[in-house]
Amino acid sequence: MKKFVFLPVAAALALAGCSSTPEAEPTASPTIAEAVETTAPATSATSSTAGESESQQPADDSSGYAFATGMTFGKFTLPGKPDDGFLKIMKRYDDADELGDVSFVNIKIDNRQADEKAWVTEVRVYDEAGSEYLYVSPVDLLDAMFEKDQSKMDYESEYMKYFDKYNTQVSQGAVGTETLISLDPLPKDIARVIVNTGGFAGDIEAVTIEDAKSQGYPLDF
């Protein structure tokens, strides 16, 4: 299983709970090789069919999860919709040439009745054996790749585009989406899913969509 090591810029932003515009040059970060530590694989990756993204493909709603904290609600499927533009950038880097295990999670957040901003810093998935599969912000990988070789990524049209796209929060009164990425192949059997919202609300246990419906979660967003 592959593990992410959080990068200083992304981690600081998550703990502070606020968006920030980077300086002219991003803060130095580890290379992508340092950002990913390879250990024993957990499961086989989901294979792609011709014409599809090389990442794991979106699940249907039956694989959905939801969570709630105060008046903030969220829902998502595992995996979510891939970002093909971001994957194209990853392909340019030697350490990211095998993208079959890569998957995204798109967390839709309903903050319409909340009194403060909401965001998600990571999602942790656990299988029956207790192995962990981690989703983090794409900004973590973006920084590592750019620092490794700036010639492979245009600063304005690519680095800044994806930094602004993924360094986000959902304002009070709004409905928005937080997207995370994982290099871990999702397990066949998921036992638990934990959503971490950093300083906003900490760890929140996600429940299945069916359980969320039975508990009266609002899911019409």
Q: Which among 92, 216, 197 has a CA at the least distance from the CA of 154?
A: 92
Domain-located, residue 127: yes
Contact between 188 and 43 (Cβ < 8 Å): yes
pLDDT at 197 over 80: yes
Is residue 158 one of the residues assigned to a domain?
Answer: yes
Q: Which string of DSSP letters, residue by residue, matches the chain?
A: -EEE---HHHHHHHHHT------SSPPP---HHHHEEE----SPPPPPPTTS-SSPPPP-GGGEEEEEETTEEEEEESS----HHHHHHHHTSGGG---TT-EEEEEEEE-TT-SS-B---EEEEEETT--EEEEE-HHHHHHHHHHH-GGGS-IIIIIHHHHHHHS--B-TT-EEEEEEEE-SPPPSSEEEEEEE-TTTT-EEE-EEHHHHHHTT-----
Question: Global pTM?
Answer: 0.74
pLDDT digits (tens, 9 = 90+) for 73-132: 999 999 999 999 999 999 998 765 567 789 999 999 999 999 999 999 999 999 999 999
In this model, does residue 161 exceed pLDDT 80? yes
**Structure token digits, residue 137:** 């912000």
Q: What was the pLDDT predicted at 59?
A: 63
Backbone angles phi, psi at 13, to 5 degrees: -65, -40
Is 153 a residue whose pLDDT tops 80? Answer: yes
Share of the chain above pLDDT 90, in %: 66
Q: Which residue, among 68, 27, 13, 29, has the nearest Cα to 198 in the 3D structure?
A: 13
199 confidence band (pLDDT: 50, 70, 90): confident
Verify cis geometry, omega within 30 degrees of 0, for the bond prior to 8. Answer: no
pLDDT range class, residue 70, cuts 50, 70, 90? very high
Task: Report pLDDT for 200.
Answer: 85
Residue 207 pLDDT greater than 80, yes or no: yes
**In the beta sheet, which residues pair with residue 109?**
74, 176
pLDDT of 8 over the 60 cut: no
In this prediction, residues 156-183 reach a mean pLDDT of 97
Domain total for the chain? 1
Is 221 domain-assigned?
Answer: no
Q: pLDDT at position 102, please? A: 93
Q: Is residue 14 domain-resident?
A: yes
Q: Is residue 51 part of a domain?
A: no
Q: Name the residue range of residue 9's domain.
A: 2-18+27-44+56-214
Distances (CA, A) of 103 to 78, 83, 94: 8, 9, 18
Q: Is the pLDDT of residue 35 over 80?
A: no
